[in-house]
Chain A
Amino acid sequence: MKHEWPLWEIFIRGQHGLSHRHVGSLHAPDAEMAMKNARDVYTRRNEGVSIWVVEARHIAASSPSEKGPMFEPSESKIYRHPTFYDIPDEVGHM
């Protein structure tokens, strides 16, 4: 019998209230052990205050071949960025 432990993706929220961030992967038999392993592997240097684990096969990812239609249309919407607008100095900070 040979069953490699499934692969899990690990997300950790750091000390400063930011979103959970992907930090890496590991193997574990189930979610509970993945959580413990994540604690032991990825928070050895006081890196986190909260952990999410997701089995890798459950992650749906965008396809690189669709990169153009997926992401390029937003390139031309430059008016969404604050730097698009000139605000007179006299008005002050905005």
Chain B
Amino acid sequence: MTRDEALFQFLLRMGDNTLILGHRVSEWCGHSPVLEEDIALANTALDMIGQTQLWLGLAGEVEGKARSADDLAFLRDAWDFRNVLLCELPTGDFGQTLMRQFLYDAWSYGMTDWLKGSADPRVAAIAEKAHKEVTYHLERSGDTVVGLGDGTGESHTRMQKSLDYLWPYVVEMFEKDKVDEVLADAGIAPAPDDLRAGYDDITARVLAEATLTLPEGSYVHKGGRNGRMHTEHLGHLLTSMQWLQRAYPGAAW
């Protein structure tokens, strides 16, 4: 695997995470529990769409086949997507959405922080911008997880349930394969498991404050980041997202 092949895969992973999760978050627009949250969630989604344009734009450039960010987003099928499964799971209730956001943000925070010093200046530049956005997302999603975990009996129960459901999807973000090895050796991206300690610090602090407990059991759901096996949910998401581009090939919008 050449360095550019590895970098292409890595950029797809970054861009597909933000694309798919941004899409999920945007589903809330007009349906949130209160206007202030509706507006805040839209801001998060907008940041993620913006990050997608940058990550996938660079992916297309690195691949060198003249594919744009839009081509990559709208014209690949499910097996070519490289997002972690966590991002494609359905939104669930508001608690599940915010718990997922927090679990993702805490990872993204460490990742973009590391990437600011990437040996590839193009990657570092994107990370520089993204890290500021992610810092705010993490603060907001963390506060909301604490507020709902340590809120009423009902909100606590719902948040614990969300955590139990989502936690088995967390490990995939720290999985390491050939792509990661090549890029870690080149100083372009971190070895994913190096981010784990920082992640555990953040989640332990926030979940304790939220009076939530990590579920027992060590079962792990994975298969998105390497494309081996996505969930059934991704296909449905793509069916909506890609509809116009698929139905009217070649049209400009």
Contacts and interface: CB of A to CB of B under 8 A. Distances in A.
B43 A40 contact: yes
B140 interface: yes
Given A29-B147, A33-B143, A36-B140, A5 B40 contact: no
Nearest to A28: B36
Nearest to A43: B43
Nearest to A32: B143
Given A5-B34, A27-B34, A36 B143 contact: yes
B39 interface: yes
Contacts of A32: 143
A74 to B, nearest CB: 40
Contact of A44 (B34, B43, B136): B43
Contact of B39 (A1, A28, A29, A40): A40
Contact of A41 (B36, B143, B147, B152): B36
Classify chain A: how many residues form its interface, as a range: 10 to 19
Classify chain B: how many residues form its interface, as a range: 10 to 19
Indicate the member of A5, A33, A40 with the most B CB atoms within 10 Å. Answer: A40
Indicate the member of B34, B36, B143 with the most A CB atoms within 10 Å. Answer: B36
Contacts of A28: 36
Contacts of B40: 36-37, 40
Contacts of B43: 40, 44
A56 to B, nearest CB: 15
Cβ-closest 8 pairs across A and B: A40-B40, A37-B36, A40-B39, A40-B43, A41-B39, A26-B36, A36-B140, A27-B36
A71 to B, nearest CB: 35
Nearest to B42: A40
Nearest to A4: B34
Contacts of A36: 40, 139-140, 143
B140 to A, nearest CB: 6
Contacts of A44: 39, 43
Interface in B131-148: 136, 139-140, 143, 147
A66 to B, nearest CB: 35
A5 B147 CA distance: 14
B153 to A, nearest CB: 11
